[in-house]
Amino acid sequence: MEYNFREIEKKWQKRWADNKTYQVTEDETKPKFYVLNMFPYPSGAGLHVGHPLGYIASDIYARYKRLQGFNVLNPMGYDAYGLPAEQYAIQTGQHPAITTKENIDRYRGQLDKIGFSFDWNREIRTCEPEYYHWTQWAFQKMFNSYYCNDAKQARPIEELIEVFQKQGSKDLNAACSEELHFTAEEWNSKTEKEQQEILMNYRIAYLGETMVNWCPQLGTVLANDEVVDGVSERGGFPVVQKKMRQWCLRVSAYAQRLLDGLDTIDWTDSLKETQKNWIGRSEGAEIQFKVKDSDLEFTIFTTRADTMFGVTFMVLAPESELVSQLTTDAQKAEVDAYLERTKKRTERERIADRSVTGVFSGSYAVNPFTGEAVPVWISDYVLAGYGTGAIMAVPAHDSRDYAFAKHFGLEIRPLVEGCDVSEESFDAKEGVVCNSPRKGAVPYCDLSLNGLTIKEAIEATKKYVREHNLGRVKVNFRLRDAIFSRQRYWGEPFPVYYKEGMPYMIPENCLPLELPEVAKFLPTETGEPPLGHAVKWAWDTANNRVVENEKIDNKTVYPLELNTMPGFAGSSAYYLRYMDPRNHQALVDKKTDEYWRNVDLYVGGTEHATGHLIYSRFWNKFLYDLGVSVTEEPFQKLVNQGMIQGRSNFVYRIKDTNTFVSLNLKDKYDTTPLHVDVNIVSNDVLDIEAFKAWRPEYATAEFVLEDDGKYICGWAVEKMSKSMFNVVNPDMIVEKYGADTLRMYEMFLGPVEQSKPWDTNGIDGVHRFIKKFWSLFYDRNGNYLVTDEPPTKEELKSLHKLIKKVTGDIEQFSYNTSISAFMICVNELFGMKCSKKEILNQFVVVLAPFAPHVCEELWETMGNTESVCDAEWPACKEEYLVEDTVNYTVSFNGKARFNMEFPADATPDAIQADVLADERSAKWIEGKNIAKVIVVPKKIVNIVVK
């Protein structure tokens, strides 16, 4: 019988579906293991061979764990809301729900062909009301919670209201947007609206005034990475910085816990480092400066409190509220012009750009340590959203302050008098390096920092600041709150209506609030988001239902929110929903949650290092505070799969002609390289007829060929993308070689974590391996070869070497070396003509995670009645690996002369006797005396002759 992969794969895919082989339930008798892939956004282009790389890697692990007796959860679903479907809808008028469904069906068809062990019963789609019910629910919980810094957890907002009623904001230690001070009486005498405004300052989901990248032409806020050089990445429209009231999530409240949690999880060091930098913890001090000749005061944040004596000016962020307060009339025109200019720049550009710009405010601030007045400047190198948005500048010791001072001719004053402050003496890290002792006590301040290290000096200064009430010790984080509103259609609607301009939540039991239909997917003429086109988008509080907008009376019927949630909303807790995807009462049932707990192995791309992987950790911690999630960290181990790059092919057109010249002749002409579809190129040889048929303009193309009549294409490794015509569709590979070959080949390409080009040149080898494996079971004439004969020692050794290697490799995600081990073992068994059931049964089990279809088939052939998925992973028996003989190098006077085999248990005396008796020794001993014989067990025998 031939290896007919098409029939075999079809048969087993059907059998698995019919028998629900991959359906999993909570089984208390077995330990659980939860494997998860970052779920895909189903794009219109379908899957290319790069996409399944991570899925195959995790599938192998899932199958391996199941064979080891674990109850494995391996679900799959779709991140189905998103921009491309909406853009497509705008262009074509097709409803995004329809295109999304089509794309999902296509993905599913492709995935099914690869033989994954997904439990499709648990599929989720983030755009389904059944799913986003719980996204909306979590949002409402965040709205109704605040973060208590003492308890270090989210607490119900009612608790805060109670505190305000009793004692106002006194002794409050809660995460907030702004420090507010009020008494109980003040609170109690406020109107409902005023109280709601105050609570907004503490809610974990809150409406906040934030600076956003606003693109008027697109009518939406854009994320930082969607803005390039001040224009939108899509369309190139101008983007401005605008203050807008937007939904935000108070992620910053969790900064310390997000940092601490990293120590408890098994992620790569580089990923942890990226998150640490993103969170950006920084210990420092907030110090108050009085404004000269005024009652005003402002606070700066510094990590170098010890540099107070080197302050020569102050700088405010352009967006700081202080700017208008401190700008003098004389400076107003200049300041306004400056503000107008900086408005156009995004924060990211401001961080990256090191050119110096700024303007003097006209005011002076008084250094509380020296009593000296220094000028207050405004510059966009100070960021509004960090620290207090104001700094004290110490140009002698900070490089940006230094550049600023140089540019504007401001004083540069080192901490030690008489230091050289020229450009050459400035070190970007250390500032001006002065080796003499620090400046001592100065008039007005009795603090001496003489002889202290920088660290000690910082601590001493902070102590002084505290004791003299000049400020406070402060830990700052770079991590910002997440902006959670999008002016888009294809996203989760907010379960929110507005009364007197303040948001209210629709009752929890009315969730989900379904996305309404709209006539157009564009912003409205008045600049409202697309939901502004909906005609039935008002909340009737008397009947608790959605009603027509015309019924809005602002007494019982109110307008609903027009923004939708961003892409990361639906992906922030999907791993919890897989545990219990059809539960209508809760996000996840408590008992079920306690069984699955968290994801043991998460596989996905590094591009999510600071987005999804921060948001979902935050979201999970919030749910943990609520008692919903049972572990604080959602993803225990994380593996980043590398990217599969495309291997592009090129043809060379002679300029201004329709003639194409082959690679090795192209230098004789003036040519332009053009991408050619890799699917009509084989081993870099162009299929000329297919090329002519590819595009109408090439139908009449002419060619300058190599001597052997071939057209050879050039090649390069690039991103796999449609525009480079280097996309390889897995369906084609499955069709030609089968899914088992595709799976093994993707793993054979190299380490999972590494990026590597797709290069089909080796795929035949992998396919041949499976065929050779098959031939251990059936000969060419279809005769079944498997026997019940007992295996030999050599055969057992070969098998157990394989078991040991593959077990170790899988644990390390080193699948490429496993594939080589399989090949070696098959060659060994082939050489020994081994078709013994005892050997092959175990081999099949070990190979099954990699090539499940062919293994199921052969497993069945050998008389097994249950699926190979439920076999037992074989244990490696070390006794089979012990070598029977040992190879010794025989040396004379330290020079290796020949080798001899000895039984592993031979004694040194026996070895010595045999070596000396060997005829080859005679030549080296001849005419000399044996002075000494040294036997190093299992290695060498050295004979010293004189």
Three-state SS letters, 727-740: CCCHHHHHHHHCHH
* Beta-bridge partner residues of 72: 33
* Beta-bridge partner residues of 715: 649
d(CA 499, CA 582): 34
Instruction: Please report how close the Cβ of residue 316 comes to ligand ANZ at its closest, in angstroms.
Output: 9
d(CA 433, CA 265): 40
Q: Give the SS3 label for residue 119.
A: coil
Can you give the binding site for ligand ANZ, defined by CB under 6 A? 282, 301-304, 307, 317, 382-383, 386-387, 389, 391-392, 394, 397-398, 431, 476
Which of residues 100 and 476 has its CB atom nearest to ligand ANZ in the complex?
Answer: 476
Instruction: Please report how close the Cβ of residue 320 comes to ligand ANZ at its closest, in angstroms.
Output: 9
Instruction: Please report how close the Cβ of residue 214 comes to ligand ANZ at its closest, in angstroms.
Output: 22
Q: Give the SS3 label for residue 882.
A: coil
Which of residues 160 and 421 has its CB atom nearest to ligand ANZ in the complex?
Answer: 421
Closest CA to 66 of 896, 845, 820: 845
Q: Are 70 and 32 in contact (CB under 8 A)?
A: yes
- Cis status, amide bond into 443, omega within 30 of 0: no
Which of residues 130 and 411 has its CB atom nearest to ligand ANZ in the complex?
Answer: 411
Using alpha carbons only, what angle is made at residue 362 by residues 360 and 368, rounded to the nearest 5 degrees? 95
Instruction: Please report how close the Cβ of residue 231 comes to ligand ANZ at its closest, in angstroms.
Output: 25
d(CA 199, CA 192): 10
Closest CA to 374 of 418, 310, 469: 310
Residue tagged 């097709």 (tokens) = 94
Instruction: Please report how close the Cβ of residue 354 comes to ligand ANZ at its closest, in angstroms.
Output: 13
Which of residues 431 and 642 has its CB atom nearest to ligand ANZ in the complex?
Answer: 431
Phi/psi for 904 (5° steps) reads -60, -30
Q: Are 600 and 634 in contact (CB under 8 A)?
A: no
Dihedral in degrees, nearest 10, Cα atoms 904, 910, 911, 915: -140
Instruction: Please report how close the Cβ of residue 279 comes to ligand ANZ at its closest, in angstroms.
Output: 12
At 631, list the tokens. 């572990």
703: amino acid identity, one letter: F
* Beta-bridge partner residues of 50: none
Instruction: Please report how close the Cβ of residue 369 comes to ligand ANZ at its closest, in angstroms.
Output: 13
Which of residues 282 and 636 has its CB atom nearest to ligand ANZ in the complex?
Answer: 282
Q: Give the SS3 label for residue 60.
A: helix
Which of residues 36 and 392 has its CB atom nearest to ligand ANZ in the complex?
Answer: 392
Instruction: Please report how close the Cβ of residue 322 comes to ligand ANZ at its closest, in angstroms.
Output: 12
Instruction: Please report how close the Cβ of residue 387 comes to ligand ANZ at its closest, in angstroms.
Output: 3
Task: Give the ranges where 288-436 is alpha helix by DSSP (H).
Answer: 322-326, 332-342, 347-352, 399-408
Q: Are 890 and 898 in contact (CB under 8 A)?
A: yes
Which of residues 453 and 544 has its CB atom nearest to ligand ANZ in the complex?
Answer: 453
Which of residues 77 and 387 has its CB atom nearest to ligand ANZ in the complex?
Answer: 387
Whole-Å CA distances, 141 to 206, 338, 485, 582: 11, 42, 17, 21
Q: Are 861 and 872 in contact (CB under 8 A)?
A: no
722 is in an annotated binding site: yes
Which of residues 312 and 363 has its CB atom nearest to ligand ANZ in the complex?
Answer: 312
Which of residues 212 and 393 has its CB atom nearest to ligand ANZ in the complex?
Answer: 393
Instruction: Please report how close the Cβ of residue 412 comes to ligand ANZ at its closest, in angstroms.
Output: 12
Q: Are 505 and 143 in contact (CB under 8 A)?
A: yes
Phi/psi for 171 (5° steps) reads 60, 15
| Binding annotation | 722
| Binding annotation for ATP | 722
